[in-house]
Amino acid sequence: MKYSQTKPIVQESLNINVTEPEKIIIPSEMTRCGVLYVRSDMPSFQQTGVPALVVTEKKYGPKENPRIQNIYSMHFPGRYLDEYMNTEVYCPECGRQLVENGTLSCSLRHLPIGGTYTNLDIERRRLRCLNVKCRYNYTCPIDFKATDHLITVQLLCFTQDLLALHFSLKEVAHLTGLNQNTVKDIDRERLSSLYTVNGEGKVLKKPDSRAQFLAIDEFKLHNGHKYATVIIDLETGHILHLAHGRKKATVYEFIDRVGLDWMSSVKAVACDMNSDFEEAFRVRCPHLKIVYDYFHIVKNFNDKVVSEVRKDEQKRLIDEGRTEEAKALKKTKHILTSKRETLERKDKEA
C-alpha cells in the first residue's frame, strides 16, 4: 500500500483544545520493589505495558563445537502520540474530514541497558479520508526515528559517539546490538559529513591543517588483485587521501585536491621504491625531498640481497657436494631477515 506524503490540513478554527497526552498509568508491576522508572526523553512515545524480555541464542566459533551465548533484549510496548492527536484534521486533497483507520506497528532498536538490548514496539495511527472516492491516507512519521535506519535518534547518537572514540565496527555492533553492516553505514554517513564537501559524500574536503611530511604507499585490497593507494600526514598519522589504483594519477588527483599552495608547505614525502609516485611528486612539486622509508629499504634489501645471497650460497654448497650444509640453509629466510630481538622473543615464547 502506498502512503501519502502530503500532511493533513489542520483547521485552526475547528481545533479542539489540545489536551495533554493521557497520564501514564503505571502498572502495579512497575511500582513494586526492584523497578526503575526513568525518563525516555521521547515525549511522543507512550509506554503501554510492561517490557517483555526476549532471550535468543547466538553461536560463535566452529560449527561442530560452537560457543553459545544468550542475547537478551527487552521489548517495550507503546504507542506513538502524533502531532494530530486530539485534533480534527482534514484531507489536503478533497477537504473532507480524516478519521482513524487502524494502526501500523514498527519496532525500533533503542539504547542498550548494560548488556541488555532494548526495542520499542510502537503502534501508530493511520488516518484515512471519509470520502470513499478519495484515496488519501496518512501515517505520521515518528519524530525520534533515525533517518534510513530502524533505530531511535538516541541510539544513532550513541553509535556515532562510540565510532568517534575509535571503537571497531565489531565492538560497536556488540555494544549496541546493531548489525555490523548497519554500524558500517552509520560510520560512512558520519565520515561523509565530517570529511566531504557539504557532507554529500562526493568530493573530499581539503585537509584542515597543513602538513610538513607526507607518506605514500600502496596496499592490496581484499581480493588481492586490485591495489589502493594511501597518503598520510606522517606526523599526525591522519589519512589525507585514499584511492583505488597505484598510479601516478592518484598522486595528481591528491595534489589537485589540496592545491599547490597547500603542497608548498610540505617539505618531504616518504615513498616506497615504486618510481611512479616519486616521479609524479617531482613533476608537480619539484621542491619536495623524496625519502625512502626505512621499512621499504629493509624489505628491498632482504628480498633482493639477503635472499639472493642465500640461494647462491646454497647452490655453491650443492655444487661442491656439501649437501648436508646446503640443507641447513633451507627454510632459513625468516631467521636471516628477522631482527635479533624478534628471534630472541620467539625463542622465549617457544
CB closer to Zn ion out of 133 and 339: 133
CB closer to Zn ion out of 89 and 269: 89
**Whether the Cβ atoms of residue 158 and residue 183 lie closer than 8 Å to each other:** no
CA distance 199 to 83: 30
Question: Which DSSP string corresponds to 93-125?
Answer: TT-PBEEEEEEEEEEEEEEEETTEEEEEEEEEE
**Nearest-CA neighbor of 159 among 148, 171, 142?**
171
Distance of closest approach, residue 102 Cβ to Zn ion, in angstroms = 17
**Nearest-CA neighbor of 117 among 151, 80, 82?**
151
Q: Which contacts (CB < 8 Å, 24+ apart) does range 200-207 have?
A: 204/241, 204/257, 206/257, 206/258, 206/259, 206/262, 207/233, 207/238, 207/240, 207/258, 207/262
93 binds Zn ion (CB under 5 A): yes
CB closer to Zn ion out of 35 and 94: 94
The correct pick among 84, 117, 136, 144 for binding Zn ion (CB under 5 A) is: 136
**Whether the Cβ atoms of residue 271 and residue 290 lie closer than 8 Å to each other:** yes
134 binds Zn ion (CB under 5 A): yes
48 binds Zn ion (CB under 5 A): no
130 binds Zn ion (CB under 5 A): no
Distance of closest approach, residue 170 Cβ to Zn ion, in angstroms = 50
CB closer to Zn ion out of 6 and 198: 6
As given in the structure block, the three cell numbers for residue 256 are 589537485
Q: Which H or E element spans position 53?
A: strand 52-60
Q: Which stretch binds Zn ion (CB under 5 A): 89-97, 147-155, 226-234, 279-287?
A: 89-97
91 binds Zn ion (CB under 5 A): yes
Distance of closest approach, residue 151 Cβ to Zn ion, in angstroms = 33
The correct pick among 89, 129, 156, 231 for binding Zn ion (CB under 5 A) is: 129
CA distance 123 to 75: 13
CA distance 73 to 280: 55
Distance of closest approach, residue 123 Cβ to Zn ion, in angstroms = 24
Amino acid letter, residue 322? R
Q: Which stretch binds Zn ion (CB under 5 A): 14-22, 25-33, 130-138, 202-210?
A: 130-138
215 binds Zn ion (CB under 5 A): no
CB closer to Zn ion out of 48 and 131: 131
163 binds Zn ion (CB under 5 A): no
318 binds Zn ion (CB under 5 A): no
Give me the residues that bind Zn ion (CB under 5 A), please: 91, 93-94, 129, 131, 134, 136
